[in-house]
Structure 1
Amino acid sequence: MKKTLGLVHTSATLVPVFQQLCAQYLPHINVFNIVDDSLIKQVITRGELQPDTARRVVNYANSAESAGADFIMFTCSSIGAAVETAATLTQVPVLRVDQPMADKAVSIGKKIGVIATLPTTLAPTSDLVKRRAAVAGKSIEIKSVLCEGAFDALMGGNPTLHDQMVAAALKELSNEVDVIVLAQASMARVVDTLSDTEKKVPILASPPIAMEYLATLL
């Protein structure tokens, strides 16, 4: 009998991204999507993840389980803390999309760069990397970089400016660290615009790494 993966998104733009990745990495798995962009909008407006939003995240995990998911993954890093809580309250495994990426970064180097366009994503991702390093028993250094204004440019209909700002930050950060972690999946496309000489260190994006990880489990 086919396994079923439930994906919970805070942006509809991520549905086709993960649809393609599922076809590539999990061709024999049933997949369904739950989308609610009010979750991330609430976090951004408030500047942090608050209890009532976290409770809704837990409810979505329960909904996915009730819908028949054998495994659940949340594709947004900003709600990561609530996802970890949800994992303790469901009967099926629940994964935050950035955990496999954090584990890979820790395995690659000691100096780890974390880059984001939202402060609400930068802090949770940096915290996750620190905790996964502790689990691995490894001492690391983290350099966190916020591309201020890039997210506003993207939401304001200027993706070119967003990509230019992120690319510039990536080039600068690559001179200071062993590996770079992208805190948001929306930044991944910028990596493809960089030349091999500009990508001086590995630059990790969570979606493909998470799907590789799920393929080993499912």
Structure 2
Amino acid sequence: MRTVVAVYTGQGLADPLKEVFRELLPDVRLVNIIDDSLIGDVVRAGHVPPGVARRLVQYFHNGEELGADVILNTCSSVGEVADDARKLIGVPIVKIDEAMAAEAAARYDRIAVLATLPSTLEPTMRLVGRQAEAAGRKVTIVSGLAAGAFDALVGGRPEEHDRLLLEAAVNAASEADALVLAQGSMARMEKALVAATGKPVLSSPRFGVAQVKAELARLERERSSEGKEPS
């Protein structure tokens, strides 16, 4: 059985992502590593501090030791740490938001990135920009920060979180052809945001798991090719 190790910096996405795995990769052994102190430290610092980067890389090493065929990094705030860790880890690391960003950069000229934290917004905007550059496209990236929404959510006011996110989406949509959700946990708002803005909305969980599926298929092809007798 193939094994995927998902590394989380918070609790909120684990159960929804498990459902996507059940749908797209039902035969995979999914192992979750969750350390919700990571996102707390990122939020307090306003960036990824060295201690968070060290712990995250250690969790990637742990995933490799657990027998992972693929490691899934589920947090956009620490995606750039995952980029660097790819040089250190012996199995592929998939970033949950990479395929989503590539899709947005390939299809749309004006892309609004929605987030409830600056520490997530900025790395995701940079990721979309890099994907556009890799595709040879020039795109306009619009900042859509839902200020106060994260505090409302952790403070037990989900309705206020949703209201602030919808407000930020409507404001950003006036300057964009599509909206990208920087945090996987925001995927539950996808339909409501489409209805409120009339624009396409891209969220990362399905894109991320689909990329894991593609990576597992690539590894299987490589193993099959290596196992063939030379002609």
TM-score bracket for this pair, using the shorter chain length: over 0.9
1:214 paired residue number: 212
1:78 maps to a residue whose letter is: S
Confirm or deny: 8 A CA contact 2:193 2:201 kept in the other structure. Answer: no
1:179 paired residue number: 178
1:152 paired residue number: 151
1:73 lines up with 2:86 in the alignment? no
2:201 paired residue number: 203
Task: Measure, in 1, the Cα distance between the counterparts of 2:48 and 2:161.
Answer: 24
Pick the structure with more helix per residue. 2
1:123 paired residue number: 122
Secondary structure of the 2:176 match is: coil
Q: Identity rate of aligned residues, in percent?
A: 40
Post-superposition offset of 1:158 = 0.3
- Provide the alpha-carbon RMSD of the alignment: 1.3
Secondary structure of the 2:32 match is: strand
Q: Map 1:86-125 to 2 at 5 A.
A: 86-125=85-124
TM-score using structure 2 length:
0.90
Post-superposition offset of 1:194 = 4.4
Task: Measure, in 1, the Cα distance between the counterparts of 2:137 and 2:17.
Answer: 31
Post-superposition offset of 1:86 = 1.1
1:154 maps to a residue whose letter is: L
Greater Rg by CA: 2
TM-score using structure 1 length:
0.95
Post-superposition offset of 1:212 = 1.9
1:169 lines up with 2:186 in the alignment? no
1:173 maps to a residue whose letter is: A
Task: Measure, in 1, the Cα distance between the counterparts of 2:194 and 2:105.
Answer: 24
1:123 maps to a residue whose letter is: E
Cα deviation per residue 1:45-88 (whole Å; 9 max; x = unaligned)?
Answer: 11111222111111110000001000001111111111111111
How many correspondences in the alignment?
A: 216
Structure 1 gap segments, 5+ residues each: none
1:203 maps to a residue whose letter is: V
**Which consecutive aligned stretches of 4+ in structure 1 deviate over 6 angstroms post-superposition?**
none
CA gap of 1:140–1:194, structure 2 versus 1, over 3 A, is closer
Confirm or deny: 8 A CA contact 2:61 2:89 kept in the other structure. Answer: yes
